[in-house]
Amino acid sequence: MSEPYKAGQFALPKSLPAASDRTNILGVGVSAVDMEQAIRECDELIAQNGRGYVCVTGVHGVMEAQKDAGFRKILNRSFLNVPDGMPTVWLGRLQGHQNMRRVYGPDFMIEFCGHSVSRNYRHFLYGGNEGVAGQLAENLHRRLLGLQIVGTYTPPFRELNADEERELAAKVRESKPDVIWVGISTPKQERFMARYLGKLDTKLMVGVGAAFDFHTGRMKDAPDWVKAAGLQWLHRLLQEPRRLARRYLINNPKFVVRVILQLMGIQRYNMES
């Protein structure tokens, strides 16, 4: 079970950003964007020397937010909360956001990194098991010539202690990244970004979950037709049944029931920020 949010625990932005419209999915504001718009808005944040974090949210994230109001605030106070799964896209379109498209975390990472080469953005990789971030850096360098990856950090599975916090802050301060990619799974990565955005010398933090494992070949990504059909959850479940059975076989039916009640107007949800 995830650790509950405590008042004052994280340095959250004070209001929901107006960077893009959001669609209300069980009280979670999911940004009504496509890949191009998400990249453009991140560009603008960096150009203006802003500071923000991007969440990549599907059904799992929305359902985690039902159990923890603090986590819902973290999602709703993000700079962007992009639609990682097709169900969030379908619901957004039902609510009138016809141009909304899936912004899948691993794809966003590749697209934005490629886009950033000509802009000389500097990237830092935080997450993965021992050796994963280093291998990811090598793979990205081979795939995207000219990409600047200026540092990596492999965190422990627990929260950072004071010495580790100082070590990470020093690495980031010395390497001066524009973007920190965080791959430690939901909801840990969102909590990390909300907590450390004001402590680390960077402009943008993006939580991309399993992207580290996909882009290092540790996990096999689903075919495009499986993604388009909204069945990627099944593809992942077959790869990691022990870890993901509870997430998908319990959360997904609950999600469907709650969404039906919301669409029928029986249950109302506010996007609290």
Domain boundaries, the chain: 22-157+176-263
Give the pLDDT of residue 31. Answer: 97
Give the pLDDT of residue 227. Answer: 67
Give the pLDDT of residue 19. Answer: 54
Give the pLDDT of residue 226. Answer: 64
Phi, psi of 23 (to 5 degrees): -100, 140
What does the alpha-carbon distance between residue 48 and residue 34 come to, in Å, rounded to a whole number? 21
Helix (H, G, I), strand (E, B) or coil at 158: coil
Read off the pTM: 0.88
Q: What is the CA radius of gyration of the chain?
A: 18
DSSP type of residue 117: G
Going from the first residue of the chain to its last (273 residues), give the mean pLDDT of each consecutive group of 10, the final group possibly shorter: 36 47 96 96 95 96 95 96 94 94 95 96 93 94 96 92 95 97 94 96 94 81 71 70 75 92 93 70
What does the alpha-carbon distance between residue 91 and residue 155 come to, in Å, rounded to a whole number? 35
- 150 burial (CB, 10 Å; 0-12 / 13-18 / 19+) is middle
